[in-house]
Amino acid sequence: MARISAGIATSHVPAIGAAFDLGRTQNPDWKPIFDGYEWVKEFQRREDPDVVILCYNDHASAMMLDVVPTFALGCAEEFAPADEGWGARPVPMVMGDPVLAGHLAEQLIIDEFDLTLMNHMDVDHGLTVPLSLMFGKVEQWPVRVIPLAVNVTQFPTPSAERCWQLGAAIADAVQSYPAGLNVQIWGTGGMSHQLQGPRAGLINPEFDNAFLDKLSNRTDDLRKITRLEFLRESGSEGIELIMWLIMRAALGETVEELHRFYHVPASNTAVGHIVLRPTR
């Protein structure tokens, strides 16, 4: 049967993708950030996962206009990198896993999660920047990817608790899959940042570090964070952190923290990154 062997969270700042694509990873502004991901690249070489369930948000690249899905699961064979206004990122096509995605869709909807199923979508920096950070520059991504896009653009987003419940259901759905796959789940976005209005540039390291501290074994506190508190404390785009809770819930009750990185700033954003291993 399939098993979730690790959960990884990371910010997915577009400027990180631009720095990566333009070969600026060693310049003084960017080097500390890319250095923070050296550990995980080595970890991934050892772990060699088959599939990643990748929780991210679409930044008005593939959806959010004619339809506004709260949770959208990518069921296609492949997903092309989106052109976000300056050409698509020069990264490989993202290969899906329609069989596992179909299984997840079935199980999760039976378990009361009314997912939107995407048979075609392009994927933007929210999904491809984490891939670049975890695997570096490659000809082909070494994993299949099932995108799970969460609405964090239009209020109301799903609540922290709803994201938690979805993650817990994903754990069950993966466990009931007959093939022996090594599955990882990633939560992306955050940490604190605000990209709009006169309060833009907001960063709240106390909030971010408390979130990282509680992610292993004080998750009850995180599940209670309201949308209002996210917006107020972590900035209007910091609410992306709800996607980390899907990842965390899918790991089960107890985890071991293997690695953590926090850095301010990347462009407008506080960068956070954590690697967790389920312990039972």
Partner 1 sequence: MRTRLYSLEELDDIPGTTVFNAMRSRQAYHLHKFCMSLMDAGNREEFRKDEAAYLDRFRMSQEQKQAVLDRDFNHLIELGGNIYFLVKLSNTDGWSAQKAVGSMTGMTPDEYAAMMRAGGRPIKGNRSIRGKN
Q: Which residues are catalytic?
A: 125, 193
List, in sequence order, every residue forming a beta bridge with 148; answer none if it has no partner.
Answer: 55, 73
Which tokens in the block code for residue 168? 């817990």
Report 168-207 residues binding partner 1 (CB under 8 A).
Answer: 192, 194-207
Which CB, 86 or 280, lies closer to partner 1? 86
Dihedral pair phi/psi, residue 19, rounded to 5°? -60, -40
Report 2-21 residues binding partner 1 (CB under 8 A).
Answer: 14-15, 18
Which CB, 164 or 207, lies closer to partner 1? 207
Q: Which residue has the tokens 């754990």?
A: 171
Q: Binding of partner 1 at residue 42 (CB under 8 A)?
A: no
Residues 6+ away with beta carbon under 8 Å from 172: 107, 111
Q: Binding of partner 1 at residue 60 (CB under 8 A)?
A: yes
Selection from 78, 110, 108 nearest residue 96 by Cα: 78
* CB 68, min distance to partner 1, A: 7
Residue 142, SS3 per DSSP: coil
Select the residue interacting with partner 1 from 23, 46, 85, 112 (CB under 8 A). 85
* CB 209, min distance to partner 1, A: 13
Q: Binding of partner 1 at residue 87 (CB under 8 A)?
A: yes
**Dihedral angle computed from the Cα positions of residues 188, 192, 197 and 201, in that order, rounded to the nearest 10 degrees:** -120
Rounded Cα–Cα distance for residues 226 and 228 (Å):
5
Select the residue interacting with partner 1 from 5, 153, 209, 216 (CB under 8 A). 153
* CB 144, min distance to partner 1, A: 26
Rounded Cα–Cα distance for residues 166 and 239 (Å):
17
Interface residue list for partner 1 (CB under 8 A)? 14-15, 18, 59-61, 64-65, 68, 82-87, 153-156, 192, 194-207, 226, 228, 231-233, 236-237, 264-265, 267-268, 270
